[in-house]
Amino acid sequence: MVKEHLTSPLPSREGPGEGLVQDSISQGRRATLLAGLALAGAILAPPTQAAAPPTIRLGLVQFGTVQWIAEIIRRHALDAANGFTLATIPLASTDSGRVAIMGNQADIVVLDWPFVAIQRGAGAKLCFAPLSSASGGIMARPDASIHALADLNGKRLGVAGGPADKSWLVVQAAARKQGIDLANAARIAYGAPPLLGAKLQQGELDAVLTFWNFAARLETEGCVQAISVADCAIALGLPPRLNLIGFVFREDWATASASAIDGFLAAAAQAQHILANSPEDWQAIRPLMGAPDDRLFARLRERFSAGVAGLSDAATQQDDAARLFAVLKETGGTHATGGLESLPPGLFWHTGHGAG
């Protein structure tokens, strides 16, 4: 009897099984080779470059306090922490800032919101984000006998910032409420704050309406603050602290770079907070302040911190702007509002929400 094999015999070398074995070995070798090549390629390939953060061009007027904020942003790398790179553009004056933002020579400058309102009314879509509520005043020499707005009649008055400056509009509105057309009653000279301060000291001007930091400087040099912008605001029924000066930028740029502008505003707020709480950082920026005198240094620090503390929320900003606009229009007509009949929408930029 022939016994039955319980196992199948091995296939011959020429049989189909040999081809399957060879194919399996070849596929394994190919897979190993490809894996090795892929690993070598991964090792030799250059690393993927991360996208560079956007650069924001900030216009800085010489002697302006925004220099202080920019320096703190750099000192603490707040730009990198908030997703942008800060670049600064030197500006000769506030008027240069207007030209720079309108001519796309800077992404952000520091101006007042009445200028932004006028430009929006004319079709130029600018936006505004408040920086400080600090305000200046009318500084006079002690012998000028200037104590009230009426005393400016016939006097030589220097005005910093130009005809559309927010402080000048507020002062004119307060004067009109008293029946004084200050633009015609006084002999007005517009100019940069340092130049006007020098002319005041030299006796070429009787008084100067200037920004708070220059007012502090003149005060420590013997001049007196005859009339404050805050007093004029109160006379108009407005809060003494008006968030009128701030960062100005183009709406189309901000909309396309929303994360960058929001990062910049966050960095600026962080820098202000640092300055409000860090004596060491004040010493670091002291060379930018031009304050070798300790009294002036302390006065500048005090007034800067007060301006930061006085900032209001977005809803209050809009309400205050509408109230001031109404007062200006009532007391000075459209001449005081740059020809505007109403406050244009979209004036204020709300972080995370755009213009509103």
Q: Tokens 């216009």, residue? A: 59
- 105 touches 241 (CB < 8 A): no
Calculate the average pLDDT of the chain: 84
Would you say residue 206 has pLDDT above 90? Answer: yes
The residue among 2 and 52 whose pLDDT is bigger is: 52
- 236 touches 149 (CB < 8 A): no
Task: State pLDDT tens for residues 276-318.
Answer: 889 999 999 999 998 889 999 999 998 898 888 666 666 677 8
Q: Which of 24-38, 230-244, 342-356 has the lowest mean pLDDT?
A: 24-38
Looking at domain 55-133+243-309, what is its CATH homologous superfamily? Periplasmic binding protein-like II (3.40.190.10)
**Domain limits, CATH 3.40.190.10, in the chain:** 55-133+243-309, 137-235
Joined together, the tokens standing for residue 336 give 């005081």
Residue 107 is given by DSSP the state S
Output b/e per residue, 79-98; b: 16+ Cβ within 10 A.
beebebebebbebebbbbbb
Would you say residue 322 has pLDDT above 80? Answer: yes
Coil/strand/helix, residue 80: helix
CA neighbor of 128 nearest in space, from 351, 335, 339:
351
Q: Could you write out the DSSP letters of every residue in 279-307?
A: HHHHHHHHHHHT--SHHHHHHHHHHHHHH
pLDDT of residue 346: 87
| Element spanning 232, H or E | helix 229-235
Task: State pLDDT tens for residues 142-200.
Answer: 888 999 999 999 999 999 978 877 788 889 989 988 999 999 999 999 998 999 999 99
> How far apart (Å, rounded) are the C-alpha atoms in residues 262 and 54?
12
CA–chain centroid gap for 276, Å, is 17
Q: Residue 58 corresponds to which amino acid?
A: L
| First-last CA distance in the chain | 103
Q: What percent of the chain has pLDDT over 70?
A: 82
pLDDT of residue 352: 61
Joined together, the tokens standing for residue 73 give 């942003």
pLDDT of residue 12: 39
The pTM assigned to this predicted structure is: 0.75
Output b/e per residue, 259-270; b: 16+ Cβ within 10 A.
ebbbbbbbbbbb
CA–chain centroid gap for 293, Å, is 28
Q: What are phi and psi of 167, to 5 degrees?
A: -65, -40
Q: Which of 208-222, 248-262, 308-322 has the lowest mean pLDDT?
A: 308-322
Whether CATH 2.30.110.10 fits 137-235: no
